[in-house]
Amino acid sequence: MTAAFTEEHEELRATVRRFLADKAPSDAVRRSMESARGHDPRLWRQMADQLGLHGLALPQEYGGFGGGPVELGIVMEELGRVLLPSPYFATVALAGQALAASGDDTARARWLPAIADGSLTGTLALAEADGSWRVEDVTASAVPDGGGWRLSGTKMFVVDGHSADLLLVVARADAGPALFAVDGDAAGLTRTRLETLDPTRRLARLDLDGARALGVGPAGDATAYLRTVLDLAAVALAAEQVGGARACLDAAVEYAKVRVQFGRPVGSFQAVKHKCADMLLKVEAARSAAYHAMSAAADGAGGAGGADGADGGTGALPVAAAIAAAYCADAFTHAAKENVQIHGGIGYTWEHDAHLHLKRAKSSEQLFGSPATHRERLADLVGISAPSATKG
């Protein structure tokens, strides 16, 4: 199944695109990424107050508008086109979706209304020093403490983890991996901003030394639920990557029309034509993969308490998310590289935005595991065993 966009969906896309064209041109993006906060707080408020984007994909009973992964994907695609430095991905696509899918009414009532109105930022912390995004590889520990928990361990590559008000941390309790909520100013929590390749998206290291936490989501081993959360995050990221890839294609084609060499636009040369045609093919295929994954997520395949929650993730969403995560990452990186090549010398300069797209593409490519990792997972999901290495 693929996403079937309604007239309302297309109006949402057009509205977000007009808003970003007005509020987030290239110079504004650069000011935001170089600022102390890493984003524009006024723009953050406008996104919530004027467009309602923060609550777009959250349940109505918790202050949202009752949308889902399709609506969120449309917004993420448009944000990816302009590389907006913003806590939106961490807060809405990671923390918001994790809470909404948790089935935990207490947690949802406590935090989702504040996410929806833009007064609370959040994020998800899973990966550790080894860089693995597999739930099974988590070593951070959680021990009961009165009515709550104490967390210890280190989390790496946490999106906007240096500034988020709410940290949803995956840690291992006696019954297995689970999700826990930690306040951003909790005692025993140390946050360190990491030096990263991509200046438009900030990552952090979290050191937890007995930090107080509250349990979120299913009791006991929550591995199936956490896999669903990661699938939802991967789908949102894939939509963002499609937006970035399309922006690179558009920029390359436009430049090929106006740049003249040997008395002809460079777009008239066969080699450049082939580059643009290959980019178009990859971008459109990536768009199809992302839209299919958005539909699978919207259909509830793999949702908390659904079919996949019982069997560890063998339905439509895990497969669609793995395909989208692998293909969209490759497509964005390819488009970003070709955009630099077609622009020639100016594409390598700091003043041009081509390098920002390439840096976002390479950073996002590894965010929830490399494309190779997602392809390996896809092979496992569909029952294809990798051939064993033999000598001779």
Three-state SS across 152-215? EEEEEEEECCCCCCEEEEEEEECCEEEEEEEECCCCCEEEEECCCCCCCCCEEEEEEEEEEEEE
The answer to whether the CB of 267 falls within 8 A of the CB of 256 is: yes
Q: What is the mean pLDDT of residues 238-259?
A: 92
Report how far residue 132's alpha carbon sits from residue 138's, in angstroms, rounded to the nearest whole number.
Answer: 8
pLDDT of residue 268: 66
3-state SS, one letter per residue, for 114-130: HHHCCCCCEEEECCCCC
What is the separation of C-alpha 105 from the centre of its chain, rounded to a whole number of angstroms? Answer: 24
Phi, psi of 225 (to 5 degrees): -65, -45
Which of 179, 148, 182 lies closest to 166 in space, CA to CA? 182
The per-residue pLDDT for range 20-37, each reduced to its tens digit, is 999 999 999 999 999 989
Q: How far is CA 79 from CA 13, 28, 93, 239, 358, in A?
A: 10, 14, 12, 9, 16
Q: In this structure, what is the dihedral angle of CA atoms 4, 6, 10, 11, given to the nearest 10 degrees?
A: -160
Q: Is the pLDDT of residue 2 over 60?
A: no
Please give the domain boundaries of the chain with CATH numbers for all domains. 7-88+97-119 (1.10.540.10), 123-216 (2.40.110.10), 223-381 (1.20.140.10)
Residue 118 has a CB neighbour count (10 Å cut-off) of 22
What is the tens place of the pLDDT at every residue in 215-229?
999 989 999 999 999
State pLDDT tens for residues 195-210. Answer: 999 999 999 999 999 9
> Count H helices, E strands: the chain?
13, 9
Residue 250 is predicted with a pLDDT of 94
The alpha-carbon radius of gyration of the chain (Å, integer) is 21
For residue range 66-94, list pLDDT tens digits in order: 999 999 999 999 999 999 999 999 999 99
Mean pLDDT computed over every residue of the chain = 91
Q: Is 381 helix (H, G, I), strand (E, B) or coil?
A: helix
Provide mean pLDDT across the span 342-370: 91
The H or E element spanning position 149 is strand 148-159
Residue 139 phi/psi, 5° resolution?
-120, -15
Say whether pLDDT at 144 is over 70.
yes
